[in-house]
Structures are given as C-alpha cells and as structure tokens.
Structure 1
Amino acid sequence: MANRSLSYTSFFTILQLLWSYTLYANGCYTSIISFGDSLADTGNLKQLTSELNQPPLHLFLPPYGETFFHEPTGRCSNGRLIIDFIAEYLNLPLVRPFFNGNGGMELGQGVNYAVAFATALNNSFLEARGVYNPITTNISLGVQLEWFKESICANVSDCSHLIEHSLFLMGEIGGNDYNHALLAGKSIDEVGTYVPFVVQTIILAINELVEMGAKTVLVPGNLPIGCSAAYLTLYNSFDSTEYDNLTGCLIQFNKFAEYHNELLVTKLNQIQELHPDANIIYADYYNAAMQFFRSPEKYGFENGALKACCGGGGTFNYNDSILCANPTASVCSKPYTYANWDGLHLTEAAYKVVSKSLLQGPYTVPQFNSLCPTSMLKEGDELSSFMRRSWYTFVTLDLPV
C-alpha cells in the first residue's frame, strides 16, 4: 500500500510540474500574488476586523456580493473584481485573501494581500499632513510586502519557483492616499504634492519584487476619480466649466488622476530599463474605464455611468452619512445597468468591461494578450482535461502493493 501511495504522489507531482511548465512556457502563470486596496481586496479587511473583534463595516453586509457570490465576501462591489476576472482568464482559482480565517494557505494557488482602505504611503507620512485612515491598523503597501516576505519568502530560495512563475498584481494602490485627503477637504494642490512620494513607494515595491525573482508585474494606474459619484457629490459645482461636456465628470480630479498615471508610467519605463528580463506591464485602468463613462449605453449601462446603484440618495445616489448597506439606503434592482456600485467602487459589470479591455484589448503596455494569448489558455484547458483523465486512469489501475 505504501508503494502505491508513493506512486500516486509521484505521478500527480509529474502532472503538476507538466502543467506549471506548459503554462509558463506559453507566457502564462501558475498563480497570482496581489497587493493593493479595495479594488483588489477579496476578503482581508473583513477577516481582519473579525479577528480584532470590531463591528462589521457596511462593506461586509448585504447587498455587497449579491450578484455573483450571493453573499458579502469582503469585496467592495456587488460581485467580482478585476483580480477575479484575471484569475478566470488565466484558468486559475479565485485568489484567496491572506487573512482567510483557517490558518492555512495553499501558496501555489496564489495569495492576495490587498486590503480595503490601504494606502501606498505609511500612516505616519499621511498623519504628519493631517490625513487619517479610517482603519487605524497599518495596512499600507510596505506592510503588505512584509506579510508576503514573512509568509512565503523568509528564505527566497525556498520559493523561487513560485515567485518566478507568478503574476504579481501591484494594486491598484495609491488611490486612497488621495481619497482619504481629498474627501476630507484637503485641496487638490496640496494633495498633488503627495503624488511623487506615492509613485516612488510603488516603484520601490516593484523593484524589490523583481530583485526577489518576480518576472511579471502588472501595475494598474488610477481610475478617473472625477467620474466617481462620491467626488461628484462632495465637489458639486454650479460652474459648468468644471465638468467635461461629454462625460459629466469633474475635469480637475480626472486631470489629477492623469498626473499620477503619467508619472507612474515614466517611472515604470525606467524600472523596465533596469530589469530587461522582467515584464513590467502598465494596466491603464483610467482609459479602460473612460470607455463606458463616454458611452455608457454602448456597454449596457442604461442608467448611466455616474449614478451609484446603491447609496443614500441625491443626484448621484451618494450620501457619506447613508452609505450602501445602511438600512435607509436604496439599492437598484438591476446592477448590471449601472457602472457605479456604491459611490466609490464600480459594479461587477463595469469591472468586467475594464478587465476585458486589459486582457484582450489595447489597455496594457505591453499588451497582456501578447504575453498570455487566449489560444495558449485554451491549450492549457486541454492539458488540464488531460491531467484529470490521466489521474483517473492512473488511480483505477490495479497496481501492485
């Protein structure tokens, strides 16, 4: 019996290695390792607050998660996020949060360190400027990177294969460095001085990952925050010149996001030159999303792209005193007809448009589908099917014991 058990293990190990090699050889990845904020958090903050015996935030209550998971998961949307669509595209399991409540982690399946409300900069930098994170625990990018190193790579050589063959998702991160300040009333000029520090923090984290052996890092830019229901509500103006005629978005805040993205791209080009053997991919969240802000009906958003599906009322259905999941808040019956979910986050339908534009369209540099073509993923599906058939055949053989 021991010999048969050993044979099972050996054969399955060979199949796993074959699967991993084929995916990576075709420009794909065996797992996803993610850092970031609420645009990527798949449940870390939910579990953290539970472990700290803190009352659940509105983000952890219905109707969050209603569309796909049919219950709140800690994702800041009605369903899947961009990270989920990337995992599905790569034929990988949805990436589990680092804080998963069971004390264990299958590292080969990927891991997500992103936490809602997280900033790129440490709390101390922002607090020195009068900016405070609603989550008092330090969950910044530097802390997330330490979690990664301590949990997976205390000894880098022990996980070199995992690092080399993983897709690293660096964010989106940095948006909250600005949100926490701008939504608290800081001037856009003052917050603009944070941008070089935010970008440099992101670049240093990427550089550290590449030096540890990461071969592919996907780095998103910021979304067009001037199209956010929260900004449109809090910075409502009677001056029509402050709004884009085509989209109705606030011009100055979108220009702010563009400034961050332009500086980020410049620095990414520099780090790519330093590490020519790595793939540093810029993910243009901004312009991928601007597609439906410019033409919402084209993408099925019959109720427009600016008004929140779930919120406390008003022109854009956003009220910072009556947030989504509040008993007095309203929620739309057809979230797929809205691009905005709760004022600050997008719906699953909107994230799907962004994801498809990144994975199969022109909104990544270099283009993601040139590194991981759909045809190769189909071959991966066939190999996966072959593995399952082979394993079934193997375990049904009458082997000697």
Structure 2
Amino acid sequence: MGVVKEGCFPLFPFFTLHVILSLSIPLLPLSVHSKCAKNPIIFNFGDSNSDTGGYVDGLGLDFVPPNGRTYFHQPAGRLSDGRLMIDFLCESLNTSYLTPYLNSLGPNFTNGANFAIIGSATLPRYVPFSLHVQVSQFLRFRSHSPALMSNGYKDLVGDGDFENALYTIDIGQNDLAASFDSLSYSQVIDRIPSFITEIKYAIWSIYQKGGKNFWVHNTGPLGCLPQKLASFARDGSELDEHGCLVPLNNAAKAFNAQLGDLCKQLNSQLINATIVYVDIYSIKYDLIANASNYGFTSPLMACCGYGGPPYNYNANITCGRTGYTVCHEGSKFISWDGVHYTEAANAIFASNILSSNYSTPSVNFNFFCNKI
C-alpha cells in the first residue's frame, strides 16, 4: 500500500455517477436519470452507511482529514473519503443531498430529511439514535412541518407530500456487529427476529401516517469488513474462498432472509404501498469477490488505517488517529477505514442498485417518480 500521509487527529465513535463509472468501470450500466415531474422527497433512516452529517451535527464536532478528501475535499460529516450510496441515489434523481434532521444551521428540508446516525441500530429501542428514535423524530417532523409551512415557514415539506415521499431504510449492521462482541453464533441468530420486529414497527408507523413508498436495504457481508477480520480470532476453516469470515456472513444472510420475508409480508398487507427489498449483500459481496474485474485491489484491506497487509486495521490506531497511514488518492480500494466504504466502491454499489437487478420487486427509483 502506498503510504502518503501520517495523521495526528483523533477520530470519534457524483463528478456525476455516470462520469465516475465511464472513467473507471465502463461495463457497468450508467446511472438512471430522473424523470420526476416534481422535486422528489426522500426520508432516510439508518446508520453510518447513509449518515450525511447527523452524528456531526448532533455532537457539535467535525470529522478530521483524510475523511472527505475525494469529492468534498474536506470532512463532510460522512465516514468515507467521499460520497455515500445515498448521495449517489439522490444524484440519480437530480435532487440535493439529504440534509440531516439534526442540522440546525440553515437547514433545507424541501427534498426530505436524513435521520440516519452513525452507530445506530434497531435495539435498544430508546437509546439515541436507534431506529425507534429516528422514526419518532420523523413523526414529530411529520406533525410540525405542514403547520409551520402554513404559518409562512419555508424549506419544509407540505402535508400532501409525505404520502408520495420515498422512505429509505438501511440498518441492521450494527445490531449484528455488537451482538458478536458478546454472544455466540447461535445466540446472535436467536436475536435476529427482535431486530426485524423493529424494522416492521418502523414501516408500519410511517405507513400509518400516510407513507406508502419504501426502499429497504438488507445488510452487507459483515464478515468481509477488515475490522472484523483483524479483530476476530479465527482459523482457516472460518474463512471462505475470498477470505471472509463465514459465521459473520452467515448471520448477515440469516438477517437478510428474515428481512426479505418481512418485506414480502408487508407488500401483501399494506394497501396501496410498495416495499422494495434491495439485496445490498449480493452487490457488496460481488465487488469484493470479483474486485480485480472491477479494477480494485486488496479488497479486504482498509485504505486508511494502520498495520499494513492483510487488513491495515488496528483498533487503537484507526483512520485519523496519530500514526495512521492512507493509500494514495485515486487508489482502487473498496474499504475506506475498515468498516466503511470508499467513494469508488459506493459508486459501484449505487450503479447496481439503480439497475434494479437486485430489487424485489424489480423496480428502480424512477418507479416512484411515476407515483409523485
């Protein structure tokens, strides 16, 4: 790995999409351009995979370089070198990046709000910022935004727009990761139904307030994260042919199977609602398993971290802390810091999401434009 910089900072717990893809991965489908008749409205719920600054706004701090170096050229509230999947998906709809709900400095919520917070999980329910708390924040926003607009406030969402909004959910990774810190594999599997119940509650709560368009991501291959590979004791029998931890990935698959069943169930129960289940696991695992075909190198090694091959991850010297090293800008790494992904990887993920090949039912974001 090319080492170009050492850091001395503490780290706390699209170009358009089609340009990126045409320059680096020409065989991938181009982004789907928006056909929305009016400004699309998105409400997002999740964790660090889609937090665009809520954690930073909530704690009153900024992340440190080299976070944000690729696109924003400075830390931008995201744990990545650049844009996240949700940023690219917003670009595909020709809408602005989502403003964090906790942003109090001139926020603009005309295209929705982002309730995702780094570190969030489905449980415990009342601990900030669990999925339950995020939904509670949304319900408060849902209640107050139309009333404030009627009193002359701007940059909010009107009453009729909530019904046609798109509600995106990407959560569950932290539930599984935290469970493996103290529980056996069988105990983790036993906990999964409780995580799924919280997601069911979230969708039902939003639906009861008029929401009917849901976009639900399953969780990625936990056992392929450099952090987990560097941290868990293992022998060769625990690794698959691509070097990922089988037990952790099997738990992710078990979670995803139950989440897929939930989405299928809700599609039959919620009248006039559409719940799209997106197989993020397959999208991410495909990139890791076939990294060289996409032009990437060292698929299980963090770009930013410490320790060098095979994982470049050390829990005491994480990206941004004194002593860290970072790969050359423009290097084709999949993992940014051992837990989160690089902008280059996120661009590939978003392109595959937009293809609709990983969606059940098989629709893309423009499907919802026709419902606005």
- Distance in structure 1 (CA, Å) of the matches to 2:279 and 2:267: 17
- Distance in structure 2 (CA, Å) of the matches to 1:88 and 1:66: 19
Q: Deviations over 1:140-197 (max 9, x none)?
A: 1111111111123248898442212211111x21211222232x34322222222100
- Please give the secondary structure, in 2, of the residue aligned with 1:23: coil
- Report the equivalent of 1:38: 48
- Report the equivalent of 1:389: none
1:210 matched to 2:207? The reply is yes
1:243 matched to 2:239? The reply is yes
Change (3 A) 1:216 1:250: same
Q: CA deviation at 1:299?
A: 1.3
In structure 2, stretches of 5+ residues that fail to align are: 1-34, 151-157
- Report the equivalent of 1:364: 359
- Please give the secondary structure, in 2, of the residue aligned with 1:100: coil
Q: Of 311, 321, 334, which aligns to 1:339?
A: 334
Q: Of 87, 110, 113, which aligns to 1:111?
A: 113
- Distance in structure 2 (CA, Å) of the matches to 1:335 and 1:281: 33
- Please give the secondary structure, in 1, of the residue aligned with 2:36: helix
- Report the equivalent of 2:226: 229
- Aligned residues of 1:160 and 1:213 also touching (Cα < 8 A): no
- Report the equivalent of 1:179: 177
- Aligned residues of 1:119 and 1:141 also touching (Cα < 8 A): yes
Q: CA deviation at 1:240?
A: 2.0
- Please give the secondary structure, in 1, of the residue aligned with 2:143: coil
- Report the equivalent of 2:13: none
- Distance in structure 1 (CA, Å) of the matches to 2:145 and 2:59: 30
Residue type of the alignment partner of 2:175: D
Residue type of the alignment partner of 2:221: P
Alignment of 1:180-195 (within 5 A): 180-182=178-180, 184-195=181-192
Change (3 A) 1:298 1:334: farther
- Please give the secondary structure, in 1, of the residue aligned with 2:168: strand
- Aligned residues of 1:215 and 1:277 also touching (Cα < 8 A): yes
1:23 matched to 2:13? The reply is no
- Distance in structure 2 (CA, Å) of the matches to 1:297 and 1:161: 47
Change (3 A) 1:290 1:141: same
- Report the equivalent of 1:200: 197
Change (3 A) 1:277 1:297: same
- Distance in structure 1 (CA, Å) of the matches to 2:192 and 2:322: 37
Q: Of 312, 316, 320, which aligns to 1:317?
A: 312
- Report the equivalent of 1:386: none
Radius of gyration: which is bigger? 1
- Aligned residues of 1:309 and 1:335 also touching (Cα < 8 A): no
Q: Deviations over 1:280-334 (max 9, x none)?
A: 0111110011111111011121x22110000121420011111100120111013
| TM-score of the pair, normalised by structure 1 | 0.76
Residue type of the alignment partner of 1:23: C
Which one has more relative contact order, counting CA pairs under 8 Å at least 6 apart?
A: 2
- Please give the secondary structure, in 1, of the residue aligned with 2:357: coil
Residue type of the alignment partner of 1:153: S
1:292 matched to 2:287? The reply is yes
- Report the equivalent of 2:95: 92
- Distance in structure 2 (CA, Å) of the matches to 1:310 and 1:40: 19
- Report the equivalent of 1:351: 346
- Please give the secondary structure, in 1, of the residue aligned with 2:311: coil
- Distance in structure 2 (CA, Å) of the matches to 1:294 and 1:360: 20
The percent of aligned pairs where both chains have the same amino acid is 32
Q: Of 244, 260, 268, which aligns to 2:263?
A: 268
- Report the equivalent of 1:47: 57
In structure 1, stretches of 5+ residues that fail to align are: 1-21, 51-55, 125-136, 381-401
- Distance in structure 2 (CA, Å) of the matches to 1:156 and 1:76: 33
- Report the equivalent of 1:17: none
Q: Deviations over 1:126-150 (max 9, x none)?
A: xxxxxxxxxxx62111111111111
- Report the equivalent of 2:163: 164
- Aligned residues of 2:87 and 2:97 also touching (Cα < 8 A): yes
Pick the structure with more helix per residue.
1
1:77 matched to 2:80? The reply is yes
- Aligned residues of 2:216 and 2:278 also touching (Cα < 8 A): yes
